[in-house]
Structure 1
């Protein structure tokens, strides 16, 4: 199931005959190594048991050199028969708590009563003995080796087919680990390279330069970029404005083709782009790979969406008139990008503006300008005309505000903090564009909660809270920074959460054992530590600083767990953007919903519960942009979980969803009276806007 969700090759056999055949193969290998191991075979399948017994005898093994195992209460006749042969039989049963034990027994019961189960075929269906002991007949897929990654063919702009998410790299496979390590070495050899501005298809140098460093080792220079000012900003606006007429009038298919080609190029460089984000943004390999695959998804999805929206729609069928509904781009777009998803979010915002016909000025985050330079290179290599994508690293207070107020900027797309987003909204309203009101799409912060119900599966609750709260050191707007736990589950949940969090490795992002990498900068670390200090004054520290040895350099913050947190506490209300989680105990579901919704944000939320009634109620009443049930609350996938919130979490529709591109377009309607003298065009021509 997980493999299917990820788009990976199926890692298990899907035919019982394949499973049986592999079991016998492995049994033979184990028996051949009986001088160093003690083979034991658990099965109720007489054919499987007989194969193991006969193989042991062919190898000359004594009857006590191996053992057979069967579950208490199942296949008693088989146990008796095997025992009569003088062989060792171990009868086993689950020991421990009642509910998990019952679940185990139910699973065994389902397996042993399945249609292709040996026990069912023997004792219920009365299958012939010859059929039951016949050797397994493997399928054609038996012993095939899956590819490192599924092959993804380039998208044909003329017939793109349905959208399918790009598979993540499966780092449990050695070839993927080796490919990533090789890419990391390659990228490190290129560190220190300089990247000029890119305006109107030309490289532009500046006196000022910006250094990009490794958050895990700030002394390591990742690269330098030219650092623009107002003069370069004016040049970028002029270049975008000059490119607008031709790009606006390009067909949707021509614009979508650029995105599809960029996706193809990005796939080819996926490991190197991941490695670059490991070094520049301190993203562990799985997080970095997820960033790349999401970027590819945005390119593929928005390309298809533009083809869908680009087809004019005939409205109504009244005789004697023809009404056509279609879209045009808004104008010049300014993209202000965040550092925490330096490729994915930047690609999503930029490609959405580009494919809808709006030339783009890209102002990347100052912490991650090098990965942004690579995106611009890929888009130009994919065919984006000069001036349609302009790369402008620059200080926010000096240049960002200047561009937001610029009269020739028509559209502003922003992802970042609530404070910065509200300032952009205000400035854009006070400084309209040359031809109209500026459109602002702003994705802002979150203060997200997971509700843990009284009947929650605590294995799931702990695992998903830890992943949601501490993945990428909590530096996600979707991260879980609050856990609202019903009283009946609170104490056991907290005890397990603390120990699970204690087990997390804090360290360099390139280390595969690292779960909590450094935060992005010294300033970010200081801000997080100020919230930790506030938490120490207003709550109980259930898990404090880690005792593990961390590197001397790097912006590390150990995970923290606070309990006894009041719903109105600072650490329960303000976005921290770090590895800090506040646990809030509540009496019942009514209080849980009140607490979970009692913040100014409404981005993500979660529920861990076994109760269908609770799930149904939370689905209705926990009003956030993305609600996740019995899973983590981070890692939204394009199309499947279109992402975005409301209240103070954002202005605009969901990224990666069917409404997102509409924000970059203006609708138009043309009505024509077709009851005229002379030539009347056909409906087919009119429907195509010709």
Structure 2
């Protein structure tokens, strides 16, 4: 098929705040075709694109604009963007169908990507401070008198996040990397794969038209960007998804190898599904295994980095697994153009991709594999108009299952056919199953189907070090599970070895990937000023009125109140024991309490002291404090006996306004001391306070 540069649209890039396409009189672009029909859809070219200018624009305009907002403000923008894209999903589904994706495939890509935006929009507000710095871990005392402290903080990297994505998830691939980088405050340059980059560009146009994201926070390069790493340095990060060979070329680039550019990769993965010896035909675990295997070789036509490539089963069940999978495929899989009704499996993304999968299968057959299900011949398909026949220009392929007489064949554990292909191989015992799974050389995910806790434990301890994620399916979770092949934003996505050695997602962990951890040392007052969190030893204000009378607009970190002493009596302890039913011997039996090495005799309940502490610091009249919603970091340090006294010192430690509500959270540093100023208890009181 041929076309001139003016016959079809060129997929645009979006750089430096504007849409860009190459000069029509320039070099011809790469052709992109409809996966089902072979129709020419578009040309892709970046000839003449100023990649250095795009990097500079991100570092200057993008960094400056994102730096104006806090984590919570960025999180709200992610939520707003998710809602905007969610309202336009149908348009993206129509574009996605051209890549051979069924509606279900498109849901995984498009709705999955939007779901990541929603997740980070929520987690950013729930788990991060309403500021621009994250404090990591506890404060370290570096001087005996408390005048010199150290701690760790995360702050955003000062450069750009370059995100190079694979062809199989053109929307999810962009959004799952964008969300944590944006939340961290780092601008992104997205480079999608050429075969499906037109889908990414369609989503990008919706994003740009919304006007939601700050200037410079997101740019798109459609086409080749081989010179992009040349313009990066230690301030920047490259996140890559694709083949291991391309990842290795990137790792070897001077700016990455020696120039300090951060680099993370998610690459090839010969993922496994392991069937426990207890999961025989007729059990829920066997059924779950078959459902998962068939789903993973047919969803996205098997073009998923998380797809099951090796089904490792008891040697005596190989034929049963093939037969059950074949029955399910014949009963449920309708191959054809995804725009036709009832089609459940579409084409591969391109003819080139089809040729690559066929070539890989041929190599596996030559290495000893046997074709147990399916054919390499051109299959019959359902066309877009509902008619049946072949599609000579389409990239269709039947689901294939291979079996291996030799379970240790190198090709089984080294060759990945990135399509609707899986191998079924037998093991002799659980230790052998673990060994075969590990031969994948490092994988993104493994599924274990068993209802035997001992089998599960042996498999987990054996394979965890070789996998980024392990899913256990049994009769209790098989229906509710998100599935083998579905990374979720809450958990890390990545794996060791041939899987790339990187991590993506994982909740707030992914945000930290785009941040620098720095050890900060200084006085309590200095660290309080730098982090916005009060540190023990920093100044406190006791003479500015009771802090519970102050709304957030007036309350300041360091505002404090110190109570008078209150004496504890035996009658108080006995009354609390009787009222609560907590008659533990340390509070009721003098002889037993004295025999305990921790207590001087009968002592007050810890929760009695906490209750008294609240009574000592609370201001009872209605005011800005709306509710107490918890305690954190509670420790009891010194027992309090009858005759001792306690007092509480309460200090505003951290103030977190909510962007969308008329109140915010305040964490108060609470310290209980006795009449000798010994520490009795330390904890944080959490309250909701009106703005």
**Could you state the TM-score of these two structures normalised by the residue count of structure 1?**
0.65
Q: For 1:135-174, list aligned pairs within 5 A.
A: none
2:22 to 183, 206, 210: 206
Matched-pair contact (CA < 8 Å) for 1:260–1:299: yes
Instruction: Give, in whole Å, the separation in 1 of the partners of 2:256 and 2:289.
Output: 46
Matched with 2:51 is 233
Could you tell me which of 90, 95, 106 is aligned with 1:271?
A: 90
1:627 counterpart = 2:470: yes
Q: Select 1:218's aligned residue among 38, 51, 57.
A: 38
Confirm or deny: 8 A CA contact 2:229 2:253 kept in the other structure: no
Q: Distance in 2 between matches of 1:346 and 1:321?
A: 44
Report if aligned partners of 2:150, 2:520 keep a CA contact under 8 Å in 1.
Answer: yes
1:362 aligned to which of 176, 186, 190: 190
- Distance in 1 separating the partners of 2:76 and 2:168: 28
Query: RMSD of aligned C-alpha atoms?
Result: 3.0
Map 1:580-619 onto structure 2 (within 5 A).
Answer: 580-619=421-460
Aligned counterparts of 1:321 and 1:493: Cα–Cα separation in 2: 65
Between structures 1 and 2, the one with greater strand share: 2
Which of residues 633, 655, 665 in structure 1 aligns to 2:515?
665
CA contact (8 A) 2:240 2:266 kept: yes
1:518 aligns with 2:347: yes
Determine whether 1:528 maps to 2:357: yes
Deviation at 1:323, TM superposition (A): 5.5
Unaligned runs of 5+ in 2: 1-6, 381-388, 530-537, 542-555, 559-652, 657-691
One of 498, 516, 521 as aligned partner of 1:648: 498
SS in structure 2 opposite 1:668? Answer: strand
Counterpart position of 1:327? 154
CA distance in 2: counterparts of 1:511 and 1:572, whole angstroms = 37
CA shift, 1:333, in A, is: 1.5
Aligned residue number for residue 423 of structure 1: 249
1:673–1:462 CA distance, 2 compared to 1 (3 A):
closer
Structure-2 residue corresponding to 1:411: 237
8 Å contact from structure 2 (residues 92, 199) kept in 1: yes
Residue of structure 1 in register with 2:635 after alignment: none
Q: Does 1:558 align with 2:385?
A: no
Tell me, what secondary structure is at the counterpart of 1:460? helix
CA displacement at 1:334 relative to structure 2:
0.9
Distance of 1:635 and 1:485 partners within structure 2: 19
CA distances 1:167-213 after superposition (whole Å, capped 9, x unpaired): xxxxxxxxxxxxxxxxxxxxxxxx96655321121222312545443
Check the 8 A contact 1:498/1:542 in 2, yes or no. no
Q: Distance in 2 between matches of 1:257 and 1:428?
A: 38
| Secondary structure of the corresponding residue to residue 659 of structure 1 | helix
The 1:501/1:428 distance shift into structure 2, 3 A limit, reads farther
Of the three residues 633, 638, 653, the one matched with 2:488 is 638
1:664 Cα offset (Å): 0.5
CA distance in 1, matches of 2:120, 2:219: 20
Paired with 2:424 and 2:335, the residues of 1 have a C-alpha distance of: 21
In structure 2, the residue matched to 1:351 is 179
- The structure-2 alpha-carbon separation of the partners of 1:502 and 1:288, relative to structure 1 and needing over 3 Å to count, comes to same
Partner of 1:440: 263
Partner of 2:199: 371
How far apart are the structure 2 equivalents of 1:496 and 1:293?
Answer: 31
**Alpha-carbon shift at residue 305 of structure 1 (Å):** 4.2
Output the CA distance in 1 between the equivalents of 2:275 and 2:539: 64
Verify the 8 A CA contact 2:250 2:256 in the aligned structure 1: no
Aligned length: 489
Q: In structure 2, how many angstroms separate the alpha carbons of the residues matched to 1:358 and 1:565?
A: 51
Tell me if the contact between 1:306 and 1:661 (Cα under 8 Å) persists in the aligned partners.
Answer: no
Deviations for 1:314-356, whole angstroms, at most 9, x for unmatched residues? 8438644565643222111111111111101211112222221
Question: d(CA) in 2 for partners of 1:408 and 1:204?
Answer: 28
- Counterparts of 1:438 and 1:689, CA distance in 2: 35
Distance 1:347 1:497, change over 3 A: same
Q: Give the CA deviation at 1:460.
A: 2.7
Q: d(CA) in 2 for partners of 1:527 and 1:259?
A: 37
1:183-202 pair list within 5 angstroms: 195-202=11-18
Alignment match, 1:579: 420
Is 360-369 or 205-214 further displaced after alignment? 205-214
SS at match of 1:600: coil
1:463 aligns with 2:286: no
Q: CA deviation at 1:449?
A: 1.3
User: Are 2:66 and 2:186, in contact at CA under 8 Å, matched by a contact in 1?
Assistant: yes
CA distance in 1, matches of 2:457, 2:230: 43
* 2:201 alignment partner, SS class: helix
Counterpart contact for 1:507–1:550, Cα < 8 Å: no
Cα drift, residue 413 of structure 1: 0.9
- Name 2:620's counterpart in structure 1: none
Comparing 337-346 and 618-627, the one that deviates more = 618-627
Q: Matched residue of 1:198: which SS?
A: strand
Deviation readout 1:257-278 (Å, 9 max, x if unpaired)? 3212111101111222222212
* Per-residue deviation, residues 90-114 of structure 1 (Å, max 9, x unmatched): xxxxxxxxxxxxxxxxxxxxxxxxx
Tell me, what secondary structure is at the counterpart of 1:506? Answer: coil
Post-superposition offset of 1:656: 4.1
The CA deviation at 1:250 is 3.0
CA distance in 2, matches of 1:427, 1:581: 34
1:282 aligns with 2:122: no
